[in-house]
A and B are shown apart, each in its own frame.
Chain A
Amino acid sequence: MVMTRVLVPGSGHGPLLILDEPLSLWGGVDVTTGQIIEKGHPQHGEVVGGRILALPHGRGSSSSSSVLAELLRLGIGPSGIVLGAPDSILVIGALVAGALYGAICPVVVTDAILDPMGIWEIEGDRLQPVAVLEKPAENADTWES
């Protein structure tokens, strides 16, 4: 179990998707499918929907908050976000989706190294694996903040 700092409270679970590089949700994720489209991104082609999305920090566009809220409105957003450093652009996107649509997407910060295997859960300030997948997820690299 990993203790985190909670930026947006809530609970959520899903297969972990670890991004080896930061990502701008705007311009980097297709807002109609949730697929990562940034040219050259190591996780290009992966889908963020239903995943616990772990990334070192956000980057790029300040429109990423709109894109996160829109993904959550459409039900194709991440189940939760784990950051290596706080990012208020993602925080406000998750908060607005919660306020407008009741969509829950907890955002937490940790500098722990996460094991990419399995289903993970964010519950309050705890981040923990709840099931182990038989096959490793496609991006089986570890990411260190």
Chain B
Amino acid sequence: MDLTADDRAALTGDHGEAARFCMELMVAVGRADDAPRLIDIESAHIDGCLYHGRAGLDFAERLVAGGGEVAVATTLNVSSLDLLHPDLYRGDLETATLARRLMEAYLELGCRSTWTCAPYQLEDRPRFGAQIAWGESNAIVFANSVLGARTNRYGDFMDICCAITGRAPLTGLHTDHGRFGTMMVEIRLPDRLLDLDLTYALVGHIIGRMAGVGVPVIAGLDRRADEDRLKALGAAAASSGSVAMFHAVGVTPEAPTLDTATGGAEIGPSLVLDGAALASARHELSSETGTLGGVSVGTPHMSISELAILAALTAGRRAVVPFFANTGRDTLALADSLGLTRTLEEFGVTVVTDTCTYITPIIGRIEGDLMTNSAKLAYYAPANLGVTVCLASLADCVESAVAGRPVTSESPGW
């Protein structure tokens, strides 16, 4: 790999021990990926701040001890704790203490206390074409597909290595060639389903299953596929698969036409998605038992427009089961200023920030299914939380919470 004088200086420790360690790891990863050289990045998003055990903490504290400091603007993903609502945490004290230490280590490295898995909903998000290094699978696919920023799938550790060195290996989605579509998905759905938020999560789930490591090109979506819906699609595809980028022809910025999305190449036969495919995906993601224990929405974190929709659906009503809504602290501050939070709380919504209900003990024991509009939560929650899941639209989640039983009037296939 071709390293600059500055890269080599970092490798020999001229920029401090932490930068040396990070550059050493980056060069090893770059070589594994056959990168010809490293490039500058404009910003980073760190997934490594969520506690999974001592290894993550040992690594972060080693960087702090080595004088590490991020070289670019760096945001932080969710952690294990809700610092704004600390009473929500039901886990053990030792894990909480270690999780807190991990969060503090990343703050010491100079990262911003954003604590959100949806950094693309923050005010200053990457511009089109920006080279960035993001962790968190849903954020990666959104940055590439919807913003047109350029990041590979960076795992924990590599994310902060990029942030501290300000560099990343030039491979894959950082290059023009790596971003061209490699497989075709044709959506054949009636208007009724294209108007339904849940549809996009289910489409994402199916595409993730099929795409392997490729870049899917989706035809048949239109402007109804807004940012919130593309977020749900990408998050689902990055859970059931390893999709880091997709194109939606006529919708996403690098796919004004099919030819632009593929670079003019012929790509294989289409996967055709119809209503029956959606119904079967919903069946695959649901383990419903017919009783409702609680509702959790906002995986990934809800945007301000989703909170406004939720407030409109819940205004003047009352949930009879626990109802959780995950969002970022910046989005919550905006919701407070718009008077939305009060409406949600009067309905019985427990707002969760800084973390997410599917990764840390917050929901507690519930009798019956956990209902959600998130394919990502539905994918991970059975193993993570030991719950049964019922996947439904946001409106059905609210209707169910009011009725105290599952209402799935809007599901595909009905």
Residues of A within 8 A of B (CB): 7-8, 22, 24, 26-28, 31, 37-40, 56-67, 69-70, 72-74, 85-93, 95-97, 99-101, 107
> Is B246 interfacial (CB 8 A cutoff)?
no
Contacts of B241 in A (CB 8 A): 22, 59-60
Determine whether the beta carbon of A65 is less than 8 Å from that of B157.
Answer: yes
Most chain A Cβ neighbours within 10 Å, of B25, B52, B135: B52
A88-B152, A89-B153, A96-B55 known; A66 vs B384 contact (CB < 8 Å): no
Determine whether the beta carbon of B240 is less than 8 Å from that of A59.
Answer: yes
Task: Give the distance in Å from the alpha carbon of A70 to the alpha carbon of B155 in the complex.
Answer: 14
Identify A60's interface contact among B33, B157, B242, CB under 8 A: B242
Most chain A Cβ neighbours within 10 Å, of B32, B59, B208: B32
Main secondary structure of the interface of B (DSSP, over half): helix
Contacts of A89 in B (CB 8 A): 153-155, 158
> Is B239 interfacial (CB 8 A cutoff)?
yes
> Is B156 interfacial (CB 8 A cutoff)?
yes
Determine whether the beta carbon of B59 is less than 8 Å from that of A100.
Answer: yes
A56-B212, A99-B21 known; A69 vs B55 contact (CB < 8 Å): yes
In B126-178, the 8 Å CB interface with A consists of 135-137, 140, 152-159, 161
Contacts of A62 in B (CB 8 A): 47, 135-137, 140, 153-156, 159
Task: Give the distance in Å from the alpha carbon of A23 to the alpha carbon of B42 in the complex.
Answer: 31
Determine whether the beta carbon of B52 is less than 8 Å from that of A92.
Answer: no
> Is B383 interfacial (CB 8 A cutoff)?
yes
Identify B238's interface contact among A8, A60, A90, A91, CB under 8 A: A60
In B190-228, the 8 Å CB interface with A consists of 208, 212-213
Give the size of the chain B interface in residues (CB under 8 angstroms).
Answer: 46
Task: Give the distance in Å from the alpha carbon of A10 to the alpha carbon of B56 in the complex.
Answer: 22
> Is B90 interfacial (CB 8 A cutoff)?
no
Determine whether the beta carbon of A63 is less than 8 Å from that of B21.
Answer: no
A27-B380, A93-B155, A96-B157 known; A63 vs B52 contact (CB < 8 Å): yes
Task: Give the distance in Å from the alpha carbon of A135 to the alpha carbon of B212 in the complex.
Answer: 32
Identify B32's interface contact among A38, A88, A101, CB under 8 A: A88
Q: Whole-angstrom distance from the CB of A55 to the nearest CB of chain B?
A: 11
Could you list 18 examples of A-B contacts with CB < 8 Å?
A: A8-B32, A39-B287, A39-B382, A57-B242, A59-B240, A59-B242, A61-B137, A64-B156, A66-B48, A66-B50, A66-B56, A73-B55, A86-B33, A88-B158, A92-B156, A96-B59, A96-B157, A107-B32
List 8 A-B pairs, minimum CB-CB distance, nearest first.
A89-B155, A65-B155, A70-B53, A7-B32, A69-B55, A66-B156, A59-B242, A70-B55
Determine whether the beta carbon of B58 is less than 8 Å from that of A100.
Answer: yes
Q: Whole-angstrom distance from the CB of A23 to the nearest CB of chain B?
A: 10
Q: Whole-angstrom distance from the CB of A14 to the nearest CB of chain B?
A: 21
Contacts of B50 in A (CB 8 A): 63, 66
Contacts of A31 in B (CB 8 A): 52-53
> Is B276 interfacial (CB 8 A cutoff)?
no
Q: Whole-angstrom distance from the CB of A109 to the nearest CB of chain B?
A: 9
Q: Whole-angstrom distance from the CB of A108 to the nearest CB of chain B?
A: 10
Contacts of B240 in A (CB 8 A): 59-60
In B26-78, the 8 Å CB interface with A consists of 28-29, 32-33, 47-48, 50, 52-56, 58-59, 62
